[in-house]
Amino acid sequence: MASVAMLLIFATNALSDQASGPVCIVGRGFYNTPGQAFADAKDGDRIEIQAGTYHDVGVLKANHVTVVGVHGRPQMDGQSKIADGRGIWVIYGNDTTLDNVELLHEDNGKRDETAWDQAAVYLIGNNLTLRHLYVHDNMQGFFNATRAGSHCDLTIENSVFARNGDGGGHSHNIYVNHNITKLTMRGVWSRDCNGGHILKVRAFESDIQGCMFTDPTGRSLTWFLDFPDGGRHTFAGNIVEQDNASSGSVMIAYGEEGLLNPAPHEMLIAQNTFINDGAGTFFKIQQVTPGLQANIFVGKNAPPDTGNQVVNPAALANPAAFNYRIARPIRGTTNHAAFMYESPANSVGRNDADYGAYAPEFRLHTK
């Protein structure tokens, strides 16, 4: 099976939107740690972190700041330390970009019902872009605080989230909480969450295309991809693979806590490949009919929908290597998803249709 390291061969100098202010350099005799640069940052700064390992945490309060790893990918090893009681990097500022960094070993000591209030990247401000990140082995990968009345967009591109979670189901690989107006994901691999959701989305709206969500050992929570508050969501051209022994496991859950988000409540599920290696079901969709179009379903309990294709597991080319293409042509699969995941490194600068999966422009139609 391909390793995370093999799939994280990014360019040594990540390309980011240029910040308008001065360049602040971490390492090589300037700022010794990112936390020092964060504390000194002004609006519009660009913070460049030299490759290396930093046992450091920090709080960023300035706005319009770009933080980027250069000459390799710097590693932020929190060693169970915490900034502001919340995470490795706590972002208070607005319009922030984090690019080409690795974050691991966040732990504020909280467990059980309080474990959700922490993350490697903890957003308090508005509007955040995450690119080329490797976020793994934390109590939670991403989380955002709720701020009433604000507009906040979250974009995650070409990143890997792995083995985050407290083990008890109360923290997750990626937890997009209330206050996110729209979540956009492209070329993201979320895998092997430790006891929580592989992705939990309370955002009003999301557009998730060309991503992969896998848990071949059944470590994640039984509700794998969770959209508990409803809303307007597009889920197209992705790979979803789960092996959970529980008959109550669900690959996509929608609206199970009530349709609390603003209307419309619609979910388009199109041109994905779903592989159910366990005993659970594919969908638990509340009070709304999902747009199921041109998906491939593999495994037990496939939905009996004529607009999709049910495929025998033996027909897949090489699932162990994340190659979910159909080994030989099958009648009726031409317009359905069937692909091999491509690493985020290969997705840089490509069109949406080329990210890790085939994801054409599907659009929801508001009634």
Mean pLDDT across 275-283: 91
Average pLDDT for 303-321: 83
Give the model's confidence band at 286: pLDDT under 50 very low, under 70 low, under 90 confident, else very high: confident
Q: What pLDDT is attached to residue 331?
A: 63
| Residue 260 CB-density burial (10 A; 0-12 exposed, 13-18 middle, 19+ buried) | middle
At 123-168, the pLDDT tens digits run: 999 999 999 999 999 999 999 998 767 789 999 998 999 999 988 8
Please state the CATH superfamily assignment of the domain spanning residues 23-354 in this structure. Single-stranded right-handed beta-helix, Pectin lyase-like (2.160.20.10)
Give me the pLDDT at residue 257, please: 93
CB-based contact 290:264 (threshold 8 Å): no
Which of 130-139, 257-266, 282-291 shows the lowest per-residue confidence on average (mean pLDDT)?
Answer: 282-291
Q: Could you tell me which residues are beta bridge partners of residue 23?
A: 46
> Cβ distance 142 to 103 under 8 Å?
no
Percent with pLDDT over 90 in the chain: 53
3-state secondary structure of 214: strand
Cα–Cα distance between 31 and 47 in angstroms, integer?
10
Averaged pLDDT, 263-282: 91
Query: What are the C-alpha distances in Å from 202 to residues 30, 85, 165, 256, 322?
Result: 40, 23, 18, 12, 28
Position 357 scores a pLDDT of 40
Indicate the pLDDT class of residue 294, thresholds 50, 70 and 90: confident
Domain map of the chain by residue range?
A: 23-354
Give 342 or 29, the one with higher predicted confidence: 29
Q: Is 306 exposed, middle or buried (0-12, 13-18, 19+ CB in 10 A)?
A: exposed
Q: Which residue has the higher pLDDT, 330 or 202?
A: 202
In this structure, what token pair is assigned to residue 212? Answer: 């992969």
Closest to 227 (Cα-Cα) out of 166, 193, 177, 192: 177
Q: Tell me which of 5-19, 20-34, 105-119, 266-280 is least confident.
A: 5-19
Is residue 112 within 8 A of residue 167, CB to CB? The reply is no
pLDDT(292) > 50: yes
Residue 337 has pLDDT above 90, yes or no: no
Mean pLDDT of 186-204: 93
- Alpha-carbon torsion (130, 133, 137, 138), positive or negative: negative
Determine if the pTM surpasses 0.85. Answer: yes
- Preceding omega of 264 cis (within 30 degrees of 0): yes
> What pLDDT score does 21 carry?
62
Please calculate the CA angle 326-331-337 and round it to the nearest 5 degrees. 45
